[in-house]
Structure 1
Amino acid sequence: MTRQRPISPFESVYFLDLGAAGLPLYDMPAFVESLVRGRLDPALMRMALGLLTERHPILRSEVVAGEVGLLLRVRDRVEPPLTLLDGIEDTYAELINTRPDWTESLLHAWLLTDGERSQVVLGVHHGVADGRSAFALLDEFWQHYTALAAGASPSVERREELPEAIDTRLAGALPDAEIDAVVDTIAQGPATETKPAVLPTEGVGRPDRPVATRRFVVDRLEFAVRTTDAVVAAARARGVTVNSLVTGLVLTAVRAQLAPEQGSLVMTCGHGVDLRTRLTPELPLSTVLNCITGLQTTLAVGHDDRPESVGREVADHVAGALARRDPERFLLAALRAGTRGIAVPVPVVSYGISNVGRIPAHPVPEDMELLRFGGTANAPGMPPKIGVASFGGRLLVQNEYDSWTYSPEQMRQLRETLRGSLMDLVR
């Protein structure tokens, strides 16, 4: 039984402070939240959180030093901290700019209240969970809480064995020669110096920049079920998915803010790829683990290109990359290059796109009404990204950015362009 295992090379970037030489992922939290109309009982919340740690041993883990590196070691019992806070919108905006003390627990929870509204926020260390498994964890929390509020006594199977890291699971999935060929390409450096176009960093050095507690911003565009159905119909009529359509809208909206006004510019879209679905058999979302890696697609975007055409081209690039198993190949090659002392360049991305997919509305007690859901994960140096999700049949398009890099004014312009373009589709 594996109650202790090494933190894998893929996971280690979230647990090692590499300073300016590394990615800005050290101790990074992933936040997920849901807003309800109604009041929650903190005592029942603590019981529900306890059930989560019983079922998921990785949430009971602590980080300890081993002989050759850091280890995850399962503890017998962990009580995730629950913090009660007043206010919702402003309080949440500040909360997502904090980093919890992970020494006590790799899972933290907050209850925000404002009158009859309550917001449940879970924060989990990104080294042990990604956004998709965090949303599954939030749903599991509400299942337990709803049962407890109804007077039931839910129980879960206590688990002790830590799940294998995703790069450990992928080891041997591709021939060594293929991985070595990619490592050689990394060592040779980029074949071209053409860099993708990016938004101007209007937020850098501004004397009126937001305070540190408001640095990372989440802008939400939420649409009613009727509007969501109309967007889905518009995408189908154009022969693309909703995610592809939104991707095209994002890239053309960004292109509209770039000089020169005429002609095409090379742009790179960053994507999150869930490697759970790349395994045989697939790893269920109920397994709390970080399984997300990156994939980049590069294309030329003109000032007058149709969003659906851009989105379709991006989707074709992604489909080809997945068929070639590029996400697994590049991840394993980057990790191998690191062991050989070969520097792996951080890709320059015009904009990130995170397709969370369809998330069913989670259960809540009968005396509550579920109003919305959301989540975010951000750190200094990360490019701006758009999250696309459908929750309970409602479309959410969410822009996440660092306001010390990009100004609120330029991001407000991007948000309103996206809103106008989506509404034009459904008129």
Structure 2
Amino acid sequence: MTAIPRPSLARREHTHTAAASHSGHPISVRFATSSEIDRWDELIVRSPDEGTVYRGRANIDSMVLQGATPVYLIVDGHAVTAFEVAVPLAGALWVLFGPPVLDVHELIRSAQAVAQFAAHHGRVSAVRVRTQLKANPDDADMLRAHGLVRVPTWLDDSTVIVDLSGTQQDVLSRFKKRARKSIRRAEREGVIVDRVAATDDNCRVLYEMLDATSGGRFKIPTLASTTAVFQRHEATGHGQLFLARHHGEVVVGAFVAILGTTALYLGAGSIRKHPGDPTLCGLGESRAAYALQWDIMSWAREQGCIRYDLDGTPSTATIGDAEHPRHGVGQFKTAFSDEITDYLGAHQIAVHTRRAWLIRHLEICAQRIDSSPTLNRLRRRPIRPNPDHVWLHRTRR
């Protein structure tokens, strides 16, 4: 199910040169060639920040299945994965997973260069950049001073990354005590973790747990899309579906994908304590989720990974907030590593000023409605405001 990029967004040879980079040379922006697209993963892994699964071809194909349009860019010589998103009455967005810059100065110049390039290609109203730069208040202020405003994106802005280097005992010793005890408890409880093929039936089992875990609290793709995503990653040889059983019943599962030396916790779900109530996990005292993670890490190490990205947690500032809608998730994931990685987040630079402003403010209004405690009580949706969604309060630009 390899996606065929739209020629107008992926194959033209036009090159645009913009402002000088931080190192002094001009930043060039162009569409990738066909041969570059054919070896996209290789180019992504060679990026200064080593890339992520989200920037790889398997994930691009998966996004296409969900209706996204890929844009393959070469920015300052580096492969940059982007998607074009149409916005009714307001043009389109280019959403970049990158560029792979090393500091905020380079990010500003790269964003400006891409925005200038986009102005000549279609009805693009704004460009959004989401790099792997770590959060820094001074950098955030600098971005705002140069016209880049904070916006949401499809990626979490905080995560836990587990160090898989060293021996198996080295990895285990870096866990918190509760994680080590829980892994041993799961073994005594007879929890069994299976690495299974991403068949339609196995994908359905995981999807039903994911759907129950979601319960309307967060959006998930359809069963068909989810199955296609898992099977596409598996077909590359760098994806694995895991199902954990307790007393013969599947109680928790996950799918993990790899790009380079980093494994990503791509999707997961578990049984619920009460049918229809997504807020209470049904794993009880089995500690099956800990056994699942330990087997995932063992598999990732077998594949040559030195990092495991648990993909999403409350930020460093809110990890102790018991009212945070993802508090339980954060407590679970930080059992494997104390360090939370907070990213600088996504920022938007205008291509067409008025249309860019309209897109951002329509989005803010929609998200405020979606996270309103009062409206969610009326709709009987168990959703609480997320204090990490700081873009909801940045309305000055």
* TM-score where L is the length of structure 1: 0.28
* TM-score where L is the length of structure 2: 0.30
